[in-house]
Amino acid sequence: MAKLLTLLQWADAHYETPPSLRTLQRWTREGRIYPAPELHGREYKVQHDAVYVDPSKKNLKPKPKHVKLPSKGTLLERLKHGEQASPLRR
């Protein structure tokens, strides 16, 4: 398991001018840091590779570069055209 950092250590590593501790704690409570920091005693600990997630961005998942459709068409297309399902292999 990787070492956990305090919020201030994490901010120093990721920002040229890090936000204040209160701002970092607010971001933690609002779920803006992913993966979420853990509360250890009185301070939050966060993984080194954690990132700030902008809540104004609606689609947070990365889009796939290329989606390959099935060679025989999608399930909906096969159902529309009444194609038989392939037999089960046993």
> What's the rounded Cα separation, in Å, for the pair 60 and 26?
20
Number of structural domains the chain divides into: 1
Confidence class for position 10, pLDDT limits 50, 70, 90? very high
Q: 45 lies in which domain range?
A: 4-81
Phi then psi for residue 49, to 5 deg, are: -90, 15
Does residue 88 lie within any of the structural domains?
no
Phi then psi for residue 43, to 5 deg, are: -130, 155
Looking up residue 22, the CATH number of its domain turns out to be 1.10.1660.20
> What's the rounded Cα separation, in Å, for the pair 39 and 42?
7
Does residue 19 lie within any of the structural domains?
yes
Does residue 65 lie within any of the structural domains?
yes
Q: Is the peptide bond before 64 cis (omega within 30 degrees of 0)?
A: no
pLDDT at residue 1 greater than cutoff 80: no
pLDDT at 56: 77
SS3 call for 16? coil
> pLDDT tens for residues 47-73?
999 999 887 776 656 666 666 666 666
Does residue 21 lie within any of the structural domains?
yes
pLDDT at residue 15 greater than cutoff 70: yes
